[in-house]
Amino acid sequence: MKTISLLNLKGGVAKSFSTVNIAYELWRRGYKVLLLDNDKQGNLSKAYQRYDPENIAPITNLLCGNWQNPKQLIQPTDYDGIDIVTANMSLFGAVWNLIKGETDNLAGKYKKFMEAIKPEEENTAENGSAAGYDYCIIDNPPDISLNVINALAVTDEVIVPVKIDEDALEGLDIVAEQIEDAKALNPSLQLRGVLVTAYQNTDGEKAGLEWLEKEWDNADSRLYRKYPVLGIIRYSRKVAENSFLRKPIYEYSPCCAAAQDYKRFVTNYTGKGR
């Protein structure tokens, strides 16, 4: 199972929307996907229509260690093959209480969960295919709080969604530094690259994209190569129209630019079309 975190310290860059659509495109290719909603706003949970504002969220119980079996935390979605660990505002209080308390192994809370699901994923189904998850995708809030540190401790690759503007581009160095710091907990952690979202072919955004590509091309191959552009998701008004429908964009408007771009991105990322 490969674990991917979507992370940016700037909000409003389509982290949750990208997580929704990447998971959907992986599912369309036959992969089994586990989603971790690691953001107290619960936007990923809302998108898959599993948001519960009243009870303590499964991700909160995961962070606090209040579980025995991972099946207590995982819920199926309407897509057979996409499961989710949901979030709500209870996560905020849990993070604060853990920071105040003297709890051992604060950065290892999610590791226990990942280890618990490994026996299931290593079982072999009757048809010879793996019975567990192929991908775990974690949707993170725009900060480096305790729950994000726990996520990075179990992550293989970080994808940074970015909207092209000066503030977003300046923040990339901070993201890269935080990922480097997190390697003390998880030496295999890698910044895979940048996913440009809501891209419009204006002079300003073209200049920003050229800057990103230049940073990649000019990076010393012996050093940490920072910002490879993994894909470009074009702006589409269909995305805003879809916000109240709680659907992957391909199901709402399969021909729109954003739907086609997420499809292309996942094909390039996995090497597998659908």
Q: What is the pLDDT of residues 59-77, one digit of tens each?
A: 999 999 999 999 999 999 9
CB 21 within 8 A of CB 262: yes
Instruction: Determine the Cα–Cα distance for residues 126 and 105; give it in Å rounded to an integer.
Output: 38
Confidence of residue 215 (pLDDT cuts 50, 70, 90): low
Q: Which domain holds residue 203?
A: 2-270
| Interior angle at CA 242, CA 237 and CA 246, nearest 5 | 155
For the chain, how many structural domains are there in total?
Answer: 1
SS3 19: helix
Alpha helices of 29-171 — where are they, by DSSP H?
43-47, 58-64, 90-100, 109-122, 146-153, 166-170
Residue position matching structure tokens 């895979």: 192
Question: What mean pLDDT is predicted for residues 35-63?
Answer: 97
pLDDT score of 222: 37
Instruction: From residue 41, give the alpha-carbon distance in Å to each of 92, 149, 198.
Output: 9, 18, 21
> Which tokens sit at 178?
């935080």
Identity at 61, one-letter amino acid code: N
- Within 8 A by CB and 6+ apart from 79, the residues are 24, 27, 48
pLDDT score of 246: 84
pLDDT score of 102: 58
Which of 34-48, 75-89, 199-213 shows the lowest per-residue confidence on average (mean pLDDT)?
A: 199-213
Burial class (CB in 10 A: 0-12, 13-18, 19+), 192: middle
What CATH code is carried by the domain that includes residue 86? 3.40.50.300
In this structure, the strands spanning 229-234 and 157-162 are unpaired
pLDDT score of 216: 55
pLDDT score of 120: 53
Q: What is the pLDDT of residues 69-124, one digit of tens each?
A: 999 999 999 999 999 999 999 999 988 888 776 566 788 999 999 999 975 545 44
